[in-house]
DNA sequence: TGAAATGTTGGGGCG
DNA sequence: ACGCCCCAACATTTC
């Protein structure tokens, strides 16, 4: 093979990159490209942190490739047209890319493969964004798992049996095969997008950003197991965005944890954090083998549930979206999402459970809102999380497990530190008073400078009543 | 990766 | 001394 084209998608780094490695192995001359795919971008708001994150990461990727002697070509339009065209333009006999398990990506790649084949070229894809791919971890019967714990055990056994899967893909020795040239990058404006507050939020893009965040997290790894549930603490890694766009290597993360564990330096937190990385692969595997979960319940019986609809439900949904449900922890979490594009994992569970089981609104509406707002939005993880909360997914929580938003608040934001950071109008409330302001005597509220209904809403729903309605609503999943 | 309802136990106040 | 009640503190079951 003479010439190869590497197509970057959700793997925006030059190092430890499976497709780039294999292209350099196979080709004498290797071009690199990224497409701002209009099939994806056309549906996004014109100011979108994710697009800016990608753009900023591409600037770094281009610089890194140039430092290695190559360059990056960036185009805008339909990837299904542009990749075959670009392959023809540079004279590539094969396009190299990393596997993507999302249904739309699978369809896109199939179309690209077919178009390439028509001109005698091929699309070659490689496992890169997971440690173990969709059908590498199987039950003894050779079938995909649908329960997390046995999946995780099999995953860990498989890693123990062959730790070499974590080895990085090196490219340095073959970097001279990168085709030299000047990178061609459109500006954010060129592709029709506006700058966002990404920088002000202190979200560093690119491989350097991912590496810096991981470095900053490592000292906290040992405490992850206990600290991760408290949104006011820096307990989590915050790496989900970098994992989404491949500005960190999953092999590097897993390898680092494995090495620290072997030296006894990862504590209990290391195993818990690794478990979260396994959840990520579990949901990708589930999505691949059960593509119907994108839209419908994993368990079909749960599609019989009748959700609240109509003007009242729309108003309740709007209150949830805008953080004015009257439940401080829920509202603070939604404000965090709306203002930063991030939400702490514990709060994703709390807000999802509240929408579904307190407001009786379908999980699909919440899923779609998160998909729009989350910087780290990933179909498999987001869908898996929402179906977990709705009890409709594989290995989901039981339908009768309903979070009490006040209890969750008392447990995981006991001092109200997180709530106060997003709801300054409640700052006057002291200590535990903040979790359920409507329970306080009016005089006390006055004294604290809070008028319910003015400074802060009355609760949109009574939890005890909503809980009963939800138990009734879910009755239909039991009848056959 | 819950919470509420219900059941049980045991200490202390009291007649 | 004893039974009774109250109720906190757990424990179990139910949703």
Q: What is the pLDDT of residue A432?
A: 83
Tell me if residue A14 falls in helix, strand or coil.
coil
To which residue do tokens 């608040």 refer? A409
The pairs formed by A296-304 with CB atoms below 8 angstroms and a separation of 24 or more are A297/A387, A297/A390, A297/A392, A297/A393, A298/A387, A298/A392, A298/A393, A298/A394, A298/A396, A299/A392, A299/A393, A299/A394, A299/A396, A299/A477, A301/A476, A301/A477, A302/A390, A302/A391, A302/A392, A302/A477, A303/A392, A304/A476, A304/A477
Which residues are A122's β-sheet partners?
A: A94
Nucleotide nearest to A397 (CA to C1'): B1
CA of A28 to C1' of B11 (A): 85
Nucleotide nearest to A471 (CA to C1'): C15
Nucleotide nearest to A229 (CA to C1'): B1
Q: pLDDT tens digit string along A358-415?
A: 999 999 999 999 999 999 999 999 999 999 999 999 999 899 999 999 999 999 999 9
Mean per-residue pLDDT of chain A: 96
Separation of alpha carbons A231 and A421, rounded Å: 11
Q: Which helix (H) or strand (E) holds A141?
A: none
A168 and A146 in contact (C-beta within 8 Å)? no
A400 touches strand C (CB under 7 A): yes
- At A478, the pLDDT band (50, 70, 90 cuts) reads confident
Which residues are A96's β-sheet partners?
A: A6, A124
Distance of CA A196 to the CA centre of its chain: 19
Q: pLDDT tens digit string along A11-61?
A: 999 999 999 999 999 999 999 999 999 999 999 999 999 999 999 999 999
A92 and A414 in contact (C-beta within 8 Å)? no
Find the length of chain A: 480
Q: What is the pLDDT of residue A431?
A: 83
Distance of CA A197 to the CA centre of its chain: 19
Q: pLDDT tens digit string along A121-168?
A: 999 999 999 999 999 999 999 999 999 999 999 999 999 999 999 999
Task: Give the DSSP letter string of A344-406.
Answer: -HHHHHHHHHIIIIIS---HHHHHHHHHHH-TT--HHHHHHHHHHHHT-STTPPPTT----HH
Tell me which residues have their CB below 7 A from strand B: A 148, 229, 276, 279, 345-346, 349, 397-398, 400-404, 407-408, 411, 463-464, 467
Q: A354: which 2 tokens?
A: 């509240």
Separation of alpha carbons A178 and A14, rounded Å: 11
A251 and A260 in contact (C-beta within 8 Å)? no
Nucleotide nearest to A400 (CA to C1'): C15
Asked if the model's pLDDT at residue A480 lies above 60, the reply is no
- At A274, the pLDDT band (50, 70, 90 cuts) reads very high
Q: pLDDT tens digit string along A79-115?
A: 999 999 999 999 999 999 999 999 999 999 999 999 9
CA of A414 to C1' of C3 (A): 43
Nucleotide nearest to A475 (CA to C1'): C15
Separation of alpha carbons A402 and A139, rounded Å: 31
Pairing of strands A72-77, A122-126: unpaired
Options A7, A169, A320, A386, the catalytic residue = A386
CA of A140 to C1' of C4 (A): 62
Active site annotation includes A388: no
- Percent of chain A with pLDDT strictly greater than 90: 96
How far the first Cα of chain A sits from its last, in Å, is 58
Task: Give the DSSP letter string of A414-442.
Answer: TT-HHHHHH-GGGTTS-GGGGG-GGGS-H
Q: A194: which 2 tokens?
A: 């506006």
CA of A476 to C1' of C13 (A): 22
Domains and CATH numbers, chain A: 3-128 (3.40.50.620), 130-167+207-289 (1.25.40.80), 300-477 (1.10.579.10)
Nucleotide nearest to A149 (CA to C1'): B1
Active site annotation includes A438: no
Options A66, A307, A433, A438, the catalytic residue = A307
Q: What is the pLDDT of residue A1?
A: 63
A176 touches strand C (CB under 7 A): no
CA of A473 to C1' of C6 (A): 39
Separation of alpha carbons A295 and A163, rounded Å: 36
Q: How many CB atoms lie within 10 A of CB A424?
A: 10
Asked if the model's pLDDT at residue A479 lies above 80, the reply is no
Q: Which bases on strand C have an atom closer than 7 Å to a protein beta carbon? A: 15
CA of A169 to C1' of B9 (A): 63
Q: How many CB atoms lie within 10 A of CB A324?
A: 17
Separation of alpha carbons A179 and A295, rounded Å: 43
Task: Give the DSSP letter string of A310-341.
Answer: SHHHHHHHHHHHHT-SS-HHHHHHHHHHHHHS
Residue A281, C-beta contacts closer than 8 angstroms, at least 6 positions apart: A130, A131, A132, A137, A155
A471 touches strand C (CB under 7 A): yes
Options A155, A169, A273, A279, the catalytic residue = A279
Q: pLDDT tens digit string along A399-445?
A: 999 999 999 999 999 999 999 999 999 999 988 889 999 999 899 99
A205 and A57 in contact (C-beta within 8 Å)? yes
CA of A439 to C1' of B15 (A): 39
Q: Which residue is nearest to nucleotide B4 (CA to C1')?
A: A464
């Amino acid at each position: 093979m003479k010439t190869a084209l590497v197509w970057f998608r959700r793997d925006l780094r030059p190092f430890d990159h499976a497709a780039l490695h294999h292209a350099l192995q196979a080709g004498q001359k290797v071009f690199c490209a990224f497409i701002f795919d209009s099939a994806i971008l056309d549906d996004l708001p014109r100011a979108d942190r994710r697009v800016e994150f990608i753009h900023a990461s591409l600037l770094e990727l281009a610089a890194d490739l140039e430092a290695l002697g190559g360059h990056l070509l960036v185009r805008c339009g339909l990837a299904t047209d542009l990749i075959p065209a670009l392959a023809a333009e540079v004279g590539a006999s094969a396009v190299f890319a990393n596997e993507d398990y999302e249904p739309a990506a699978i369809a896109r790649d199939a179309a690209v493969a077919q178009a390439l084949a028509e001109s005698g070229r091929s699309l070659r894809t490689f496992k890169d964004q997971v440690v173990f791919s969709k059908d590498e971890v199987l039950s003894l019967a050779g079938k995909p798992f649908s329960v997390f714990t046995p999946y995780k055990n099999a995953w860990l056994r498989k890693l123990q049996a062959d730790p070499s899967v974590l080895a990085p893909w090196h490219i340095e020795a073959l970097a001279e095969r990168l085709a030299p040239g000047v990178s061609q990058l459109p500006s954010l404006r060129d592709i029709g997008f506006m700058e966002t507050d990404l920088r002000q939020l202190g979200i560093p893009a690119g491989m350097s950003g991912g590496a810096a965040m991981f470095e900053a997290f490592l000292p906290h790894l040992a405490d992850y197991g206990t600290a991760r549930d408290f949104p006011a603490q820096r307990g989590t890694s915050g790496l989900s965005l970098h994992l989404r766009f491949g500005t960190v290597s999953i092999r590097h993360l897993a390898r680092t944890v494995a090495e620290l564990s072997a030296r006894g330096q990862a504590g209990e937190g290391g195993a818990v954090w690794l478990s979260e990385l396994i959840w990520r692969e579990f949901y990708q595997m589930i999505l691949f083998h059960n593509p119907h979960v994108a839209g419908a319940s994993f368990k079909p019986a749960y599609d019989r549930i009748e959700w609240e609809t109509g003007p009242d439900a729309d108003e309740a949904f709007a209150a949830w979206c805008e953080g004015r449900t009257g439940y401080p922890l829920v509202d603070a979490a939604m404000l965090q999402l709306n203002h930063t594009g991030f939400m702490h994992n514990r709060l994703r569970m709390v807000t999802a459970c509240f929408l579904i089981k307190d407001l009786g609104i379908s999980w699909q509406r919440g899923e779609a809102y998160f998909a729009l707002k989350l910087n780290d939005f990933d179909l498999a993880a987001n869908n898996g999380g929402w179906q977990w909360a709705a009890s409709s997914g594989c290995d989901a929580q039981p339908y009768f497990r309903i979070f009490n938003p006040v209890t969750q608040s008392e447990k995981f934001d006991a001092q109200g530190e997180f709530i106060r950071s997003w709801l300054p109008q409640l700052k006057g409330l002291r200590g535990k008073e903040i979790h359920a302001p409507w329970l306080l005597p009016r005089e006390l509220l006055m004294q604290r400078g809070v008028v319910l209904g003015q400074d802060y809403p009355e609760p949109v729903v009574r939890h005890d009543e909503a809980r009963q309605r939800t138990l009734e609503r879910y009755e239909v999943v039991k009848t056959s």
